[in-house]
Amino acid sequence: MSNDTLELTQHLIACRSVTPDDAGCQQLLTQRLEKMGFHIEKMRFGEVDNLWARRGNASPVICFAGHTDVVPTGPLEQWTSDPFTPVIRNRCLYGRGAADMKASLAAFITAIEAFVTQHPHHNGSIALLITSDEEGPAIHGTVKVVETLKARDEKLDYCIVGEPTCVNQLGDTIKNGRRGSLSGYLTVHGVQGHIAYPHLARNPIHLVAPAIAELAGIAWDNGNEYFPPTTWHISNINGGTGATNIIPGTVSLIFNFRFSTASTVESLQSQVHAILDSHQLDYDLQWELSGKPFLTPKAELANAMSAAIAQVTGIEPELSTSGGTSDGRFIADICPQVIEFGPRNATIHKLDEHVEVADIERLSRIYQKTIEQLLT
């Protein structure tokens, strides 16, 4: 078995690419892609390095998307080994980004190399969209590249995002969609006063409490075949001056919807406003949409990936839309079929992040066989 994918993963882990710093990762990828005849386009927005690479001009276009940035390490003394010195222990490769998602990036490259070697005049086109702004604010990364591609009417047919999706073993889970994320920043106004003279004040915490109870008890939708029901939760609540004898003048809340395709941004917003208005609250509410939900029904891409997984691992994968948001939410704007598939996610963002060594090369073979089914 070739160790090429493992070696490239190790080189990428050694790059200290804490978001939004790419730290040379994209240059490592570019060197390999140029040898295969890819047209390389570097797109820098703000402090973020992005890479758009494409081989071929015909359709269909299959794109591999991912990120080179990693989350901070946390306390270095709590790692068993230096997080940016790749180490193999107990048949696992340890290092920050091993699972999220440098093994996937390496597997992209070696899968494409193997495919191009066997099919130098393949049908369609192969592309890569790589950013260093996925783990951070995600405002100068994939979303900006997608806007650029959209402005010049460049579309994709299939996109594989290399996020770590598997739960118990490589091949058990494909993400074929993600829930949307909608946050609300709510301030409810009352009248500040002495707590001994409540008739001269209006306590906004008391005023908003019944509305909170109503919002927490609503069934926003029932979900659907692919998504669980939409959820609403408060993440922050702040009110008061710190003194025990003052009724506060305002209370502030931050809440978040994780919503399915069974609801819309507009429907959720209108229901919240209706409830707040029904309680006759004096309030300000600002909304922030982090991403709309996207869904890829079982079609050519999911079928090709499922078949490839079965060939390499013998496992029939499950389609899932669980988890948080990903850059797939941006890519879905120019691509009708977006799925995510990568290694196990058990240790992502944790101390001693790692990936099983055997899975790294198998991941490359899965990606390669998926390309073969779509472009040959």
Lookup: tokens for 122: 């393949």
Percentage helix, strand, coil for the chain under 3-state DSSP, each rounded to 5:
35, 30, 40
Q: Report, as an integer, the average pLDDT of 4-20.
A: 98
pLDDT of residue 2: 55
Q: How far apart are CA 12 and CA 220, in angstroms?
A: 43
Q: Report, as an integer, the average pLDDT of 197-224.
A: 97
Q: Report, as an integer, the average pLDDT of 268-280.
A: 98
Q: How far apart are CA 297 and CA 319, in angstroms?
A: 9
pLDDT of residue 323: 84
- 20: preceding bond cis by omega (within 30 degrees): yes
Strands (E), the chain: 39-45, 48-55, 61-67, 87-89, 92-94, 125-131, 158-161, 173-175, 177-178, 180-189, 193-194, 231-239, 246-247, 250-259, 282-291, 294-295, 318-320, 337-340, 354-356
Decide if 134 is catalytic: yes
For residues 221 and 264, the answer to whether their CB atoms sit within 8 Å is no
Q: If you search the block for the tokens 């797109």, which residue do you land on? A: 43
CA dist 276 to 207, 208, 210, Å? 10, 8, 10
Three-class HEC string of 256-302: EEEECCCCCHHHHHHHHHHHHHHCCCEEEEEEEEEECCEECCCCHHH
Q: Report, as an integer, the average pLDDT of 188-203.
A: 98
The pLDDT of residue 61 is above 80: yes
pLDDT of residue 291: 87
The catalytically annotated residue of 100, 134, 163, 340 is 134
Output b/e per residue, 12-46; b: 16+ Cβ within 10 A.
Answer: bbbbebbbbbbbbbbebbbebbeebebeeeebebe
Q: Report, as an integer, the average pLDDT of 197-212.
A: 98
Q: If you search the block for the tokens 């390389």, which residue do you land on? A: 40
pLDDT digits (tens, 9 = 90+) for 288-342: 998 889 999 889 999 999 999 999 999 999 999 988 888 999 999 999 999 999 9
Q: If you search the block for the tokens 């200290």, which residue do you land on? A: 16
Decide if 284 is catalytic: no
pLDDT of residue 221: 96
Is 326 strand, coil or helix? coil
Q: Report, as an integer, the average pLDDT of 70-94.
A: 97
Mean pLDDT for all residues in the chain = 96
pLDDT of residue 325: 84
Output b/e per residue, 178-205; b: 16+ Cβ within 10 A.
Answer: bbbbbebebbbbbebbeeeeeeebbbbb
pLDDT of residue 91: 97
The catalytically annotated residue of 22, 69, 100, 113 is 69
pLDDT of residue 134: 96
Lookup: tokens for 245: 């004898």
pTM: 0.89
Residues in contact with 10: Cβ distance below 8 Å, sequence separation at least 6, in sequence order: 86, 93, 95
The DSSP letter of residue 89 is E
The pLDDT of residue 147 is above 80: yes
pLDDT digits (tens, 9 = 90+) for 86-126: 999 999 999 999 999 999 999 999 999 999 999 999 999 99
Output b/e per residue, 125-135; b: 16+ Cβ within 10 A.
Answer: bbbbbbbbbbb
Q: If you search the block for the tokens 């005849």, which residue do you land on? A: 37
Indicate the helix (H) or strand (E) that contains 362. Answer: helix 357-375
Q: Which bin fits 49, alpha (ψ -120 to 50), beta or left (φ > 0)?
A: beta
Of 291, 14, 21, nearest in space to 136 by CA:
21
Q: How far apart are CA 13 and CA 360, in angstroms?
A: 13
pLDDT of residue 324: 82
